[in-house]
A and B are shown apart, each in its own frame.
Chain A
């Protein structure tokens, strides 16, 4: 067995989910009906097979002692000074993530067979789930930051569309848009980081690990510490959107609009940890940029603290779980910033399993609460006592309102940060309308009178 024999399973990890997506998308595009059973078989088979591929990849790597498998797939386009290559990299970081994501997506796919039964958007749900699965594998296995960006966008799109799954109501659509806008703002960081990497070191490839810098390779690190810091901060900026860290975390509780299984897989398990994955990938670079690493720690610590307070006053189960996720991801950021890379990986895997199961179980809360009361033989003990002991009495109302209002981040964002843009857009809209009305001399939308006129003139 040689390293080349590991290429097929590595490729399968991306191809199979993508194939499932196209197998659902093409009939949908052609307007063909596909029944639930077939949809399920397609997605189930694809993710089961890709989970097997991941297992084969891992066992193969262990068997031949390969720390790293690189599979160049070709070039998309190139110019004199730039080349976009498709490369897959399997190493100590990407392989556990690849396995975790494909297994979890497969499990949620199986779960949703019963959960989504008879739902009108059944196909759409699986279509987006497969797209998401494919996107995550691209992010995880990408050999360059440019390719990672490609997967990153797919994940963001699938995420926003699933939040807005129940598109006949206003709130899901608004909250899907909110997540999408947050993602886009943070994508700027990722794009800028890729451009800067090309500018500084000429490539955004994931290099082989240099001796002493850990078990997996990161992006090539510029020699100039200022550039390294800047790129590290840009990557941090990119990751705080996906991982719902401060100050952009407000979309996360709002994302609980979709069907429960999609909330579990995105915001309990995979999507929320992708920011952490990006930072882990950049860990060798962060090592060279202590200021950026400190920023990662600070953001993580502040988020964990903020989210744990806010989460504690949430009185609906999905928001409480969303903030609990945010808390742990904040901690994971701290671990990454401090350089505990393997701890972070273990933490991510453990947290993903715990949290997704909790979200899947959340509709049974009343049942569980009743049984827990019976088991304990009493009303559940009051919680929050030590918080009340620690915080001075005079501060408690302040802190409580702070938590209830979610740290006022929404107000800050909507009333101050976004206000200028909104005003500008409204003004532009007014001018645009005035101008087009002038041109078309149609001061009002057509009504009965105009239609009558129009018909009479025929």
Chain B
């Protein structure tokens, strides 16, 4: 039996365990509850390492994939997504000027290129054994060997064995080659040390104690963190999960499960003696006979075994304000104490039931032997020797054969995928940079001065909308600015029950803005009606799940559900329209305004730390920064639209992931509305004039909200637009309507269920149906197309088809000689863009390990996350349906600034420098005065030499994308310049 020595005192267990936990905590998923989803780099904890090392290291800890599979890269090679020239270029860069010695007479470069360009599958484990025994795999030439090489091989065989039949020669040669490879193979290496008791028990006894512990732990965590699914909640959650666990499972007469024998007594003892979580953990580690040197790894692996739940505990502990309803006092240490206590009992039970005699964990030795990995290596070397142009005679010497095997082993799958990944990125980079330069070299007609300007979020989903707007209306000018528009506020709309921050997660808002009805009576009647509707719906929802009320409801009125059931299945869009009418149709919201100005002194509401509204000076500062950065300040049009964005959809637990990242996963409409109100404020105008920014007297700002899922636009406070700007406003609204239809049309080309020849006029109805359909797992593709980020003047990219792939950030280098403005911009755009980009990268390369798998069986738990079906770990990351069209590449960040300016900025800002130097993003400097570009590589900017100057020239975007489902390259569109010939 295990020995329990709880009296064995360890010096200050609190400190030891707390220290270990702090070291391990950052490995857990840092995903907030789903309603507050914010994209982040899943490997944030590894950002101090270079990307390529970090992904491999993380893969070994988490058991995940670092890159796409070799098979996926092979497919990319096949379809030309990776070109041979890309592979050659990255190999040359990797080898450097001295490529190292030849391998069996083959130049190292040839060897590496051959391995990369001629991928073949190496069967593993039992599949390989089967092939070797049941197929002529080791006696015949591999089917991928092309005919010329085959002839060479047979020719060599003939020279060696004399003239025999072809098949005999083949068998003889291959058998000898196989034997040779096998002779020189070294024995299988030892498996790595796995100190976690559960792993050792599983390896030795074939019993997995986690199958007992996990279901219970999941039930407990879900009940403890639940935000409102359960009708009857766990009592006294404010005392923490450890005490709740001890109280429930310490009741006299424990659960009858055999593995929990004695648990009740132990819980009572711990409770009676008031053990802290940390001392409980120490007790469990001692009871599990874990030597102190292994404690950190055991704790890490224990937490990672149910990482989603552990991570959520840690999130509740660190960011209680993100809890959807109530933040129960969660502590990672409490959670671990529960898990390890259960581990002790499960491990004891496993030992008892498997070994009749009393055993110790320390004596466990794995029964299963590691898989014959060296046989896989032999096979790989065997096939590679046939495929690569190496002299067959070389292998007759066993020293040569050994060096071949070593070379094959060193250039393993991981090394190949690393290079192929670089080639994959390079191919896109070259296409984008060439396209941008070619576009600039074309003549572009001078445009008339704009009648209206529209400012969008930098989000890559705005790219198509902006492009269409410019194509429709040559007198429109567009800009990209982080979608909170500098208004970092806590916002409470008329319907909201509490304020929520609408600003990047890195900021914490200091100002609160409230939406109020203009007419107070309207507001109260609106609220009352809504409340009555809500109360009824709530009562029905709760009642239908209960016994008596449910019986009456389902038996008496249940049949009425047939109508919505048929509607939802057959006519989703119509049904949603009707259900919204029934819900709120009787009551339209009252007209409202934002309470934006703080007139009183610097007082805080309710003793909180939020200031009500902004002062005129604060507002002027926000407007000034935005206008200067974008370059609007000196050239303001009569009407400026400020367009925030968000997304609303059904059947989508990850709805918030489609909202605006710059507002911290919120919807940016109120920010746009607030910014417009600030810009129109006479006091602000006056203050701006004092700072040298003279906006035209008649100019006007209008805030708007773009729903990226159904491509609808809502305009705020349009009743205030003065007569002078009215005409421009109407032009803007008309153009936006047409642009949204085209935007919807362009998005539809990606949906597999949309017709290939969809009419532009029907596109809006089509995307609307997508957003309101209970059966639609792909309401929109979100950021799935993100790949790059262009920081610079729009005038240089106007009329360029960029396929909704770059974040477009407006920046005018001519007004920012010092580069200070750019530094501020990059400090927010860099990490945010990289966060989104890397979240997609990892969810795509390992949809199960980093992503949350297919969403079809997802089951919402506790209003905080999703599980796979019944009682699984909490699944973090993005669902496959959201990322399936993504191309996993690091963000290609092209900045309109001289290379030395960028170098200066990097030197001054450590965080940004780390992202760039460790190659988590690819940085390109784009000269403000010429098309010249410099690519950052190996710590320096290197001039970029374009490979091609060709670019397709078309009239409008639809002519380019229509009928295509796949990613497209760049194109020059003349309509954006009024149809000027290029």
Contact = CB atoms under 8 A, between A and B. Distances in A.
Contact of A408 (B228, B256, B369, B541): B256
Interface string A352-388: 1111111011111111011011111111111110011
A334 to B, nearest CB: 9
Contact of B251 (A165, A367, A380, A398): A398
B28 to A, nearest CB: 21
Nearest to A113: B775
A425 interface: no
Contacts of B132: 451
Nearest to A104: B565
A67 interface: no
A98 interface: no
Contacts of B506: none
A114 B776 contact: yes
Contact of A257 (B257, B777, B869): B869
A397 B861 contact: no
A328 B550 contact: yes
A256 B235 CA distance: 27
B544 interface: yes
A366 B858 CA distance: 13
A267 B538 CA distance: 23
Interface in B863-886: 863, 867-872, 881, 884
Interface string A278-322: 000000000000000000000000001100100111111111110
Most chain B beta carbons < 10 A, residue from A315, A327, A364, A446:
A315
Most chain B beta carbons < 10 A, residue from A373, A396, A452:
A373
A356 B565 contact: yes
The size bracket of the interface on B is 35 or more
Given A350-B555, A357-B561, A447-B372, A364 B497 contact: no
Contact of A360 (B249, B568, B777): B568
* A contact patch SS: helix
Contacts of B372: 447-448
B578 to A, nearest CB: 15
B537 A375 contact: yes
Given A308-B547, A315-B230, A346-B555, A377 B531 contact: yes
A154 interface: no
B653 A363 contact: yes
A19 interface: no
Nearest to B533: A375
Nearest to A112: B775
A318 B545 CA distance: 12
A207 interface: no
Contact of A351 (B226, B374, B538, B558): B558
Contacts of B558: 347, 349-354
A446 B133 CA distance: 10
A68 B547 CA distance: 35
B277 interface: no
A434 to B, nearest CB: 16
Most chain B beta carbons < 10 A, residue from A308, A363, A372:
A363
Interface stretch (B420-428, B730-738, B849-857): B849-857
Interface stretch (A24-32, A54-62, A116-124, A140-148): A116-124
Contact of A324 (B369, B535, B545, B583): B545
Contacts of B374: 448
A324 B550 contact: yes
B423 to A, nearest CB: 28
Nearest to B872: A171
B309 to A, nearest CB: 12
Interface stretch (A182-190, A216-224, A399-407): A399-407
A166 B182 contact: no
Interface in B127-151: 129, 132-133, 138
B215 to A, nearest CB: 9
Contacts of A411: 255-258
A175 B871 CA distance: 11
A400 B551 contact: no
A343 interface: yes
Contacts of A378: 497
Interface string A108-139: 10111111111100000000000000000000
B553 interface: yes
Contacts of A362: 859-860
A331 interface: yes
Most chain A beta carbons < 10 A, residue from B220, B251, B775:
B775
B702 interface: no
Interface string A431-452: 0000000000000001110011
Interface of B: 34-35, 129, 132-133, 138, 182, 188, 219-220, 222-223, 225-226, 228-235, 247-249, 251, 255-258, 325, 369, 372, 374-375, 495-497, 527, 530-531, 533-535, 537-538, 541-542, 544-547, 550-551, 553-562, 564-566, 568-570, 583-584, 648-653, 655, 752-753, 773-778, 854-863, 867-872, 881, 884
Interface of A: 107-108, 110-119, 165-166, 169, 171-172, 175, 253-261, 304-305, 308, 311-321, 324, 327-328, 331, 343, 346-347, 349-358, 360-367, 369-370, 372-384, 387-388, 396-398, 400-401, 403-405, 408, 410-412, 415-416, 446-448, 451-452, 454-455
25 contacts: A107-B569, A111-B774, A116-B856, A117-B777, A117-B778, A258-B869, A312-B232, A343-B555, A350-B555, A350-B561, A352-B558, A353-B559, A363-B855, A365-B863, A366-B655, A370-B35, A374-B496, A375-B495, A375-B533, A376-B538, A377-B495, A384-B233, A388-B232, A401-B255, A405-B255
Given A166-B857, A367-B648, A376-B534, 17 more contacts: A107-B565, A117-B753, A166-B854, A254-B870, A320-B545, A327-B547, A328-B551, A353-B560, A353-B561, A357-B568, A372-B541, A383-B232, A384-B233, A410-B257, A451-B129, A452-B182, A454-B133
Q: Which 10 A-B pairs have the closest CB atoms?
A: A350-B558, A375-B534, A257-B869, A384-B232, A376-B534, A316-B861, A315-B226, A353-B561, A324-B545, A374-B495
